[in-house]
Structure 1
Amino acid sequence: MDQESRHSVSVAGVVVDDQGRALLIQRRDNGHWEAPGGILELDEDIISGVRREVREETGLDVEPEQLTGVYKNMKRGIVALVFRCRPFSGSLTETSESQDFRWVTAEEVRALCVPAFAIRVLDALSGNDTPFIREHDGVTVTGINI
């Protein structure tokens, strides 16, 4: 198998507060607003990866509660597993990867995020019991408008 036919797996945590708002980070590298997340390490289980990525990018410890979606970036071959998470300790801290934070409503998500990343947060906030499965090109989600 050549490198171009391989996938990578990422994980993200949509951290939801007791008011039903989601936490977004503003990425330091490109200024985009997204849920915290990143590449799953080879020797790491999925839940540990979600906890690590959220902690590294926010300073919060979370409990992943439900897989809310599986998303594939068709251009880059990245499969993202996204979980709704509950924070239980820690405090928001800027890191080398995040420069700002916002607790946002669904409407604010639509205004701040590109569609391919907004849909992950909106799906997590939807309360749906079945995980969504979606594809995108890094910006636009295939088959839906948000």
Structure 2
Amino acid sequence: MDQESRHSVSVAGVIVDEQGRALLVQRRDNGHWEAPGGVLELNEDIVSGLRREVREETGLEVEPELLTGVYKNMKRGIIALVFRCRTIGGSLTVTNESQAFRWVTADEVRALSVEAFAIRVLDALSDNSKPCIREHDGVHVVGPNT
């Protein structure tokens, strides 16, 4: 298998508070508002990687409650596993990966984030009984959605 046909796997945690709002981080590298997350390391299990990524970007310790979606960036070959999470420790802290935080409603996430990343948070806030499976081009959701 050549390098161009490989995929990478990322994880993201949509942390939901008692009011039903989701935590978004403003990334330092590009200024975008997204759920905290990132690429899994090669020998890292999914839950450990999720906890590490969220801690590195927010200072929070989380417990994943539900896999809410699987998303593929068709241009970059990145598969993202997104989990609804609850906070179990730590404190919200700006890090070298994040420059700001906001607790947002569904309407606010639509205004702050590009569609491809907003949909992850919206899916996590919904009452779906099964994970959503979606594709995107890095900005917009593309193709059929399930």
TM bucket normalised to smaller: over 0.9
Q: In the alignment, does 2:112 pair up with 1:112?
A: yes
- Name the residue aligned to 1:82: 82
Deviation string 1:77-119 (CA, Å, 9 cap, x unpaired) is 0000000000011111011100000000000000000000000
Measure, in 1, the Cα distance between the counterparts of 2:79 and 2:109. 21
SS of the aligned residue for 1:139 comes to coil
Structure 2, unaligned runs of 5 or more: none
Question: Structure 2 matches for 1:114-133, cutoff 5 A?
Answer: 114-133=114-133
Measure, in 2, the Cα distance between the counterparts of 1:88 and 1:18. 13
Measure, in 2, the Cα distance between the counterparts of 1:48 and 1:85. 13
Structure 1, unaligned runs of 5 or more: none
Deviation string 1:11-50 (CA, Å, 9 cap, x unpaired) is 0000000110000000000100000000011111101111
SS of the aligned residue for 1:57 comes to helix
Give the CA deviation at 1:129: 1.6
Counterpart amino acid of 1:50? L
- The TM-score, its normalising length taken from structure 1, stands at 0.97
Instruction: Work out the percentage of aligned pairs sharing the same amino acid.
Output: 82
Measure, in 2, the Cα distance between the counterparts of 1:63 and 1:81. 15
Measure, in 2, the Cα distance between the counterparts of 1:127 and 1:41. 30
Give the CA deviation at 1:142: 1.1
Counterpart amino acid of 1:2? D
